[in-house]
Structure 1
Amino acid sequence: MLNLSIVLEDSARNTPENTAVVFGDMRLPYSMIDTVANQVANLLVSRGIGKGDKVAVSCPNLPYFPFVYFGILKAGAVVVPLNVLLQSREIAYHLDDSDAKALFCFEGTPELPLGERGRAGFEAAEGCDHFFVLPATPLATESEYGESFWAALGGMSGEFETVPTSADDTAVILYTSGTTGRPKGAELSHQNMLMNVLVNDKMFPRTEGGDTYLGVLPLFHSFGQTVIMNTGFMRGAKLVLMPRFEPGEALELMRREEVTFFAGVPTMYWAMLTKIHAEGAEKPTSLKIAVAGGSASPVEVLKDFEQTFGVSILEGYGLSETSPVASFNQPGRPAKAGTIGTPIWGVEMRLVDHDWKTVEGEGPGEIAIRGHNVMKGYYGRPEATDEVMRDGWFRTGDIATVDADGYYSIIDRAKDLIIRGGFNVYPREVEEVLMTHEAVSLAAVVGVPHDSHGEEVKAYVILNPGASLTEAELTAWAKENMAAYKYPRIIEFRDALPMTATGKILKRELR
């Protein structure tokens, strides 16, 4: 018997009165999260949903998320977390593709009409029979979109005996953002997810008197789910939920709740630093550990953060397919800025060419990963699984180098590579150089079609507040600081860049 819900159950048994979740003025103890999750499990069983059935959840970072997530696991069912930015047609696709029997959907807000989209998606999905609304008003028993969560839980017992699942049973299906073709569901077992939690917990020293995590990374995404919610719950930590990242509010919450552990994507760190430097926002002093992933952090941001906060950002790497953490700048070893560190305990990494042959020396090559964190495969897609998996190895699509000490550095996504006139240009390298210019705050580089060169290098740039610089001046500067085939011939200034729900820059929208 191995069930991921143990990360909550164990803490609810050992420290029932400790605060598990903080949301606005609400402070919910571990015992309550566990009790409501038990009611959710009883509700699912009463509707004929049991072991191995898929149940989708579409919800931002609200207390509902852990209630539903752990309730589904306790029932022996499989959690299918959905990105809250999906439109109705996409919701229907995910429900159909995962064979979901039920959907728990947040009612939404005027800015995010999730209830409306979820209901339409549910109506369009063939085999999905149950729709539960997570109301925007706490404890509301009615909703225009369907059966309210609280009404459905009425009369459900707060006791439940978790359905025994085995280590290899599927716990979660995480959909990958699908930059190539339609999104695919990575099937992760209870063991995949639990081992990743155990290794994460071991990697970071605990704070005396208990840890406080700021949960701003979306919990529907693997990074927030494993590193923040599941590892935080396993430690009996306090989880401060933030549904939408806003740099001023994040800094305020860190100060008020004395946050010790923050995990974010590079753009979040950049936004908080901008807030402190441009507006003199006060910086929190309780922070002990700062973790970054999702995409490579610009070295300038790493330096600035360490100077400002006195804490260095530890960078790691992983994918939905690897539960997610695969490598890390691990405490107890020297951290190397700009690298993704070394493979975590129990995981191997190597560089391969397109024929799966090992690339000797520093590379570059494509990262392949083997270990307890690698998914079972893509749900219902044996061909897609065979393309990326061989003998337990998973190939990631990320191009990297490795140094003599075994530290990996991501050069770029294989698909972001720009080939200009036969030369390989790695956008990240160009972005790093552009960001050393004192007027540049953030840069994103993409390849755009070109008649004679095949592709041309284009940079989208956000300038520092009050900086005066023309596109032509920056191009001239870039020409002096980069090889002729690398520097961007086209530069466009922007006030903002398109981002995913997790704060990654959406390069496909810039191309």
Structure 2
Amino acid sequence: MLNLSVVLEDSARNNPDGTAVVFGDMRLPYSMIDTVASQVANLLVSRGIGKGDKVALACPNLPYFPFVYYGILKAGATVVPLNVLLQSREIAYHLDDCEAKALFCFEGTPELPLGERGRAGFEAAEGCEHFFVLPATPLATESVHGESIWAALGGMPAEFETVQTSGDDTAVILYTSGTTGQPKGAELSHQNMLMNVVVCDEMFPSAADGDVFMAVLPLFHSFGQTVIMNTGFRRGAAVVLMPRFEPGDALALMRREGVTFFAGVPTMYWGLLTKIHAEGAEVPDTLKVAVAGGASSPVEVLRDFERTFGIGILEGYGLSETSPVASFNQPGRPTKPGTIGTPIWGVEMKLIDGDWKTVEGEGPGEIAIRGHNIMKGYYNRPEATAEVMHDGWFRTGDIATRDADGYYAIIDRAKDMIIRGGFNVYPRELEEVLMTHEAVSLAAVVGVPHDSHGEEVKAYVIRTPGSAITEEELIAWCRENMAAYKYPRIVEFRDALPMTATGKILKRELR
């Protein structure tokens, strides 16, 4: 018997009155989260949903998320978290692809009409039978979009005996962003998810008087789900929910709640620092651990954060397919800024070439990973699974080097690499150099089609406030600081860059 819901159940047993979730003025104890999750499990079973069935959840960082997530797990079913920015057509695709029996969907707001989109997606999906609305008004029993969860939970018992699942049963299906073709569902077992949580939890020392985790990374994404919610719950920490990242609000919330543990993507750290430097916002002083992943952090941001906050950012690396954490700059070992550290306990990494042959020494090569964190495969996609799995190893599509101490450093995504006139150009390296210029606040480098070179190097740049540097001046500076085949020939200034819901810069929209 191994069920991921144990991370909630154990804390509810050992510390029933401890605060589990903070949302605005709400403080919800572990016992209450566990009780509502048990009611959700009873609801599912009463509707004929049980072991092995798939249940989708479309919800931002609200208390509903853990209620429903752990309720689905208790029932022995599989959680399929959906990105809240999906349109109706995409929601229908996901529901059909994973063969979901039910969808729990947040009602949404005028800016994010999720209830409307969810209902339309549900109507268009063939086999999905149940639609539950998570109302925007707390405890509302009616919704224009369908059955309210609060009406459905009326009369449901508060106790539930968790269904026995084995370590190899599927706990979660996480859809990968699908930069190539349609999104695919990575099947992660209870063991995959639970081992990742245990290793993450034991890697970071607990704060003496209790931990406060900040959940601003979307919980529907593997990073926020494993590293913040599941790890925070296993530890019995208070998890502070923030549905949308806004740097000023995030800093205020950190100060108000005494946040000790923050995890974010590099653009979030950049946002916090920009806010502090531009407006003199007060720096929170309770932070003990800051973790970054999701994309490589520019070294300038790492340096600036350490100067400003007095603690370093620990960078890690992983993918939806790896539950997600695979490597980390681990406490107790020297931190090497700009690297993704070393493989976590129980996980191996190596560099390979296009034919799966091992690359010795520094590389570069493509990262391959083997261990307890590797997915079972892509749901109903044997061919796609066979492309990325071989003898227990999973190939990531990320190109890296490895130093003499075994620390890996990502050079770039294999698919982001630019080939200009036959030379390989790694955008990340150029972004690092650009960010050392005092007029550059944030940069994204992409390849654009070119008649004779195949691809040309283009940089999109957000200038620092008050800077008036011109394109010609910046290109001239690049020419002096980068090799002739590398430097960007085109610079375009922007006020903002397109980003995913998880805060990664969307390069495919810039190409």
For normalisation by structure 1, the TM-score amounts to 1.00
What's the counterpart of residue 194 of structure 1? Answer: 194
1:248-267 correspondence to structure 2 within 5 Å: 248-267=248-267
Alpha-carbon shift at residue 497 of structure 1 (Å): 0.1
Alignment of 1:203-242 (within 5 A): 203-242=203-242
Counterpart code for 2:154: G
1:459 partner amino acid: A
Shift of 1:258: 0.2
Aligned match of 2:506? 506
Residues 97-143 of structure 1: CA distance to partner in whole angstroms, max 9, x if unpaired?
Answer: 00000000000000000000000000000000000000000000000
Q: SS of the residue aligned with 1:182? A: coil
Three-state SS of the structure 2 residue aligned to 1:50 is coil
Match of 1:106 in 2: 106
Q: Distance in 2 between matches of 1:363 and 1:322?
A: 22
Aligned counterparts, 1:252-331, within 5 A: 252-331=252-331
Please name the residue that 2:402 is paired with: 402
Unaligned residue ranges in structure 2 (runs of 5+): none
| Alignment partner, residue 379 of structure 1 | 379
Give the aligned partner of residue 183 of structure 2: 183
1:97 maps to 2:97: yes
CA deviation profile, 1:181-213 (whole Å, cap 9, x unmatched): 000000000000000000001100000111000
Counterpart of 2:336 in structure 1 is 336
The amino acid of 1:144's aligned partner reads V
Identify the residue that residue 458 of structure 2 maps to in structure 1.
458
Equivalent position amino acid for 1:220 in 2: F
**2:79 is matched with which residue?**
79
For the aligned residue pairs, the C-alpha RMSD in angstroms reads: 0.3
State the secondary structure of the residue aligned to 2:219. Answer: coil
Partner Cα separation in structure 2 for residue 54 and residue 509 of structure 1: 32
- Work out the CA distance in 2 between the residues paired with 1:52 and 1:210: 36
Partner SS, residue 227 of structure 1: helix
User: TM (normalized to structure 2)?
Assistant: 1.00
Q: Deviations over 1:266-303 (max 9, x none)?
A: 00000000000000000100000000000000000000
1:316 and 1:78 map into 2 onto residues whose CA distance is 27
- Which residue of the partner structure matches residue 146 of structure 1? 146
Q: Residue type of the partner of 2:388?
A: V
What is the rounded CA distance, in whole Å, between the counterparts of 1:362 and 1:124 in structure 2?
51
Output the amino acid matched with 1:428: R
The sequence identity of aligned pairs, in percent, is 86
Match of 1:469 in 2: 469
Q: CA deviation at 1:71?
A: 0.1
Residue identity in the other structure for 1:92: A
In 2, Cα distance between equivalents of 1:121 and 1:280: 45
Alignment partners' CA distance in 2, 1:83 and 1:290: 24
2:487 is matched with which residue? Answer: 487
Tell me which amino acid in the other structure corresponds to 2:358. T
Structure 1 residue 159: deviation in Å? 0.2
User: Take 1:94 and 1:474, find their aligned partners in 2: how far apart are those partners?
Assistant: 44
Equivalent residue, structure 2, for 1:47: 47
Letter in 1 for 2:226: T
1:120 and 1:374 map into 2 onto residues whose CA distance is 34
Q: Deviations over 1:250-271 (max 9, x none)?
A: 0000000000000000000000
Gaps of 5+ in 1: none
Cα distance in 2 between the residues matched to 1:279 and 1:110: 30
SS of residue matched to 1:255: helix
Aligned equivalents of 1:258, 1:359: Cα separation in 2: 46
In 2: Cα distance, 1:81 partner to 1:118 partner: 13
Once residues 494 and 477 of structure 1 are traced to their aligned partners in structure 2, the CA distance between those partners, rounded to angstroms, is: 19
Q: CA deviation at 1:360?
A: 1.0
Structure 1 residue 137 corresponds to structure 2 residue 137: yes
Is the partner of 2:143 in helix, strand or coil?
coil
Distance in 2 between residues matched to 1:167 and 1:87, nearest whole Å: 34
Q: What residue identity is the alignment partner of 2:485? A: Y
CA distance in 2, matches of 1:290, 1:341: 15
* Distance in 2 of aligned mates of 1:485 and 1:426: 11
* Deviation (angstroms), 1:468: 1.4
Measure the CA separation in 1 of the matches of 2:361 and 2:288.
Answer: 36
State the one-letter code of the partner of 2:9.
Answer: E
1:361 is the counterpart of 2:366: no
CA distance in 2, matches of 1:472, 1:139: 58
Q: 1:323-375 deviations in whole A, cap 9, x for unaligned?
A: 00000000000000000000000000000000000011100000000000000
State the Cα deviation string for residues 477-506 of structure 1 (Å, max 9, x = none): 000000000000000000000000000000
How many residues matched?
511
Q: Which one-letter code corresponds to 1:258 in the other structure?
A: G
CA distance in 2, matches of 1:270, 1:158: 44
2:496 counterpart SS class: coil
Q: Distance in 1 between matches of 2:7 and 2:209?
A: 19
CA distance in 2 between counterparts of 1:181 and 1:400 reads 24
Distance 1:499 1:191 in 2: 32
- Aligned partners of 1:36, 1:105: CA distance in 2, in Å? 16
1:432-487 CA distance string (max 9 Å, x none):
00000010000000000000000000000000000110011000000000000000
SS for the counterpart of 2:350 is strand
- The CA deviation at 1:148 is 0.2
Aligned residue for 1:230, secondary structure, equals helix
Tell me the distance in 2 between the aligned counterparts of 1:391 and 1:337. 32
Distance 1:495 1:140 in 2: 40
Letter in 2 for 1:95: L
| Distance in structure 1 (CA, Å) of the matches to 2:502 and 2:283 | 23
Counterpart for residue 443 of structure 1: 443
Give the secondary structure class of the aligned counterpart of 2:457.
Answer: strand
